[in-house]
Amino acid sequence: MPTPVLLVAGFVFGLIIGSFLNVVIWRVPRGENLNHPSSHCPNCDHPIRAYDNIPLVSWLVLRGRCRDCGTPISMRYPLVELFTGVAFALTAALIGPSFLLFPMLWFVAAGIALAMIDIDVKRLPNPIVLSSWVVVALGLLLTSGAEDAWGNLARAGLGAVAMGGAYLLLVLIYPAGMGMGDVKLAVLLGLVLGWFGWAQVVVGFFFGFLLGAVWGVALILAGKGGRKTAVPFGPFMIAGCWLALLWGQAIATWYGQILATG
């Protein structure tokens, strides 16, 4: 399939999934059913019409307000849809038409949902994390069989154990710093990063803490937090993973060269 077609298909599919992620982000932390009731305005409770539920487009047409009561609709909804569309398009371009594309798209969608939920309620729900373990692992297994990539699968398993074990050790040493939700997420991240290489695992692990530290310092400098301010760590873990997937090998090579010449 030509890359432009794959990009467009990934973007459109991402918009659709992004619309569903908005439902997941709102309902899963509250223990609500994803199917019932249908999407509705939280203010007037009127069901959202099908033509008012078109990803990105409907928000623009309605100018960010409910058609029935005029209540403002948060800009976060179209932004989640747009970001998911862009993320899916980039993933499709990077992976290409491969069996690996499905588990990676699931991973991207789960990462977006988990990051937003952690920001909202400072929690990483088991239904998303644990189901992602299963789906991604099965997807990698299928890819290994179809593309004879058993070495990648073995490294993915070791990456999950290594990254999950490292986070578990940190929780045991300093339980106030993070929770078991972060450990479970680390297993998922290690599984994906390990498929691509040990450089990605190391860089992803390091960048999660680096991004978290930078954000913490920024909050302190802005006077909006202190050393004991609780900050959701999941988004930084996920962002670090994405950075490692994109540039992990290049960063590891660059750092190795510095050590060799230093």
Q: What is the pLDDT of residue 27?
A: 94
86 pLDDT above the threshold of 90? yes
Q: Is 133 exposed, middle or buried (0-12, 13-18, 19+ CB in 10 A)?
A: middle
Q: Round to whole Å and give the CA distance between 189 and 195.
A: 10
1 pLDDT above the threshold of 60? no
pLDDT tens for each residue of 114-133: 999 999 999 999 999 999 99
Return all residues near 34 (Cβ < 8 A) that are at least 6 apart. 23, 24, 27, 28
2 pLDDT above the threshold of 60? no
> Are 201 and 162 contacting, i.e. CB atoms less than 8 angstroms apart?
yes
Higher-confidence residue of 232 and 2: namely 232
Average pLDDT of span 178-196: 97
Helical pair 3-27 and 101-121, crossing angle rounded to 10 deg: 30
Mean model confidence pLDDT for the chain? 92
Helical pair 150-173 and 180-196, crossing angle rounded to 10 deg: 150
Q: What is the pLDDT of residue 198?
A: 96
Q: Residue 261's pLDDT band (boundaries 50, 70, 90)?
A: confident
Higher-confidence residue of 256 and 136: namely 136
Average pLDDT of span 24-50: 84
Q: Which two tokens stand for residue 180?
A: 């078991």
In single-letter form, the type of residue at position 83 comes to F
